[in-house]
Structure 1
Amino acid sequence: MSDQELSNELKTLARNGLWENNPALVQLLGLCPLLAVTGTVTNALGLGLATLLVLVGSNVTVSLVRNWVPNEVRIPVFVIVIATFVTFVELMMHAFTYGLFTALGIFIPLIVTNCAIIGRAEAYASKNPWHKAAFDGLTMGAGFALVLVLLGALREIIGQGTLFDGADLLLGSWAAGLRIELIQFDYPLLLAVLPPGAFIGMGIMIAVKNVIDRQRNEKAAQAPVEKAQRARVTSQ
């Protein structure tokens, strides 16, 4: 494969992971943790980074062992690989970010069952070399984490009027000063804080993406027509 072909493939992977085939907005995978822990940006960012690390690590490992794994047992092997990386991430969070580890609770080990991770291992990592699998995991994980953070920011601002509340749980005591109070509420807006707010926020984000995609497609469809019209004017 030439450098140009590799560059084009990596660009396609990046577009798919971050926008066109985003695991959360398009594939609608991993919605359980996505909707459950996005009450604040800190929780969302913590889970997003954990998922990204697991996705990259499992993709690389699956790619490296793909020629030694029989087809009959590939799914159990993929799950074992993913569970190994989840355990590693869980232990690291327990050691260094215990407050966030406690806040996220059961949703850290539940990364093992995230269909986005198993799906990428089966659909891409098991069929491609490790460096492409690593980039695919990075872009898919970044796309998933981006949706988590945006939804967390939306819910935190509307529900509590703050941003980066509890940032010290992820980044250490120095990050306590990152907390920004945008709106003063006497009481939190429970609709945004509780699960119904997560569903509404997710619906808004999907709707915005669909509108942007539709406008882009309309412009792409009009471009040849406009080009032909300009060509006729020029020829006249």
Structure 2
Amino acid sequence: MTSIYKTIAIDGLWRNNTATVQLLGLCPLLACSGSVVNGLSLGLATTLALVTSNAAVSAVRHWVPNTLRIPIFVMIIAAFVSCIELLIHAFSYSLYQALGIFIPLIVTNCALLGRAEAFASKNNTLAAAFDGLMVGLGFTLVLVLLGAMREGLGYGTLFANMHLLFGEYARTWTLRLADYKPFLFFVLPPGAFLCLGLVIAAKNSIDEQLKRKKQHTKHGQTGSKRVRTTGHIS
């Protein structure tokens, strides 16, 4: 059981990451990653929608007719996203204005329907909720990383306007890069594409290094076993 949840975590966070591997949800990923607070806020909202919708889909999976499963899944996702939108509107209207249309557009994020169809509809509620959590956190990590890159390079700050998410005491969290002239290219859409490309390239490079290291270790173990078995290297 532990190995199953470990696999789910690794897939959601790294091996099958929604943003860097599946390349899903690129519209909100690129549009709302102009700052850390925007990226973190949208990521947390998406994670909450994934967890709740996955759990709900899993709970009703035995009563959903096969021919109607997609419309029902979409309705479930839309219901939870609407609740999240109303909560943000009620408790942080400034954040609601900053994220704008991209909160209700969570419904159209292919990752939510994809996880509902591919995983939640075939597994128990706990596993489905955990899968939603890991997929959401993987998406959030990429959003925050892109937000930090674009905010730092484009505005010369980090963690600006965090009070929109964490309250007034977070106003002092802003870090300013001394003697740095902002490069506004990174605030624009081309800068978002460039930063995402760098993140994907870095991940692919790390995966390749890990693969080579694993192969080297495997070959070393095979050679040692051959020596112990035959007494010589063939």
Q: CA deviation at 1:232?
A: 5.6
1:195-236 residue CA offsets vs partner (Å, 9 max, x unmatched): 111100000000000000011111111112212334466656
Any unmatched runs of 5+ in structure 2?
none
Q: Determine whether 1:93 maps to 2:100.
A: no
- Secondary structure in 1 aligned to 2:142? helix
Alignment partner of 2:42 out of 30, 39, 47: 47
Alignment partner of 1:83 out of 69, 78, 84: 78
Letter of the structure 2 residue corresponding to residue 77 of structure 1: I
Letter of the structure 2 residue corresponding to residue 217 of structure 1: K
Q: Counterpart of 1:106? A: 101
Q: Determine whether 1:202 maps to 2:196.
A: yes
1:20-49 residue CA offsets vs partner (Å, 9 max, x unmatched): 000010000000000001000000000000
Q: CA deviation at 1:152?
A: 0.4
Q: Counterpart of 1:171? A: 166
Any unmatched runs of 5+ in structure 1?
1-5
Conserved in 2, the CA contact under 8 Å of 1:42 and 1:164? yes
- Secondary structure in 1 aligned to 2:62? helix
Q: CA deviation at 1:169?
A: 0.9
Greater displacement, 222-231 / 106-115? 222-231
Q: Hey, what's the Cα distance between the residues in 2 that align with 1:172 and 1:140? A: 27
Q: Determine whether 1:190 maps to 2:184.
A: yes
Q: Counterpart of 1:3? A: none
Letter of the structure 2 residue corresponding to residue 211 of structure 1: S
- Secondary structure in 2 aligned to 1:166? coil
Q: Counterpart of 2:128? A: 133
1:99-143 residue CA offsets vs partner (Å, 9 max, x unmatched): 111000000000000000110000000000100001000000000
Aligned residue pairs, count: 230
Conserved in 2, the CA contact under 8 Å of 1:62 and 1:81? yes
Q: Counterpart of 1:222? A: 216
Q: Counterpart of 1:63? A: 58
Conserved in 2, the CA contact under 8 Å of 1:162 and 1:183? no
TM-score (norm 1): 0.94
Counterparts of 1:1-12 in structure 2, within 5 Å, are 6-12=1-7
Q: CA deviation at 1:183?
A: 3.7
- Secondary structure in 1 aligned to 2:17? coil
1:52-108 residue CA offsets vs partner (Å, 9 max, x unmatched): 000000000000011111011111111110111111110110111111110000000
Identity %: 57
TM-score (norm 2): 0.95
Provide the aligned C-alpha RMSD in A: 1.3
Q: Hey, what's the Cα distance between the residues in 1 that align with 2:125 and 2:69? A: 17
Letter of the structure 2 residue corresponding to residue 20 of structure 1: R
Q: Determine whether 1:151 maps to 2:139.
A: no
Q: Hey, what's the Cα distance between the residues in 2 that align with 1:154 and 1:230? A: 45
Structure 1 runs (4+) greater than 3 angstroms displaced: 183-186, 228-236
- Secondary structure in 2 aligned to 1:68? coil
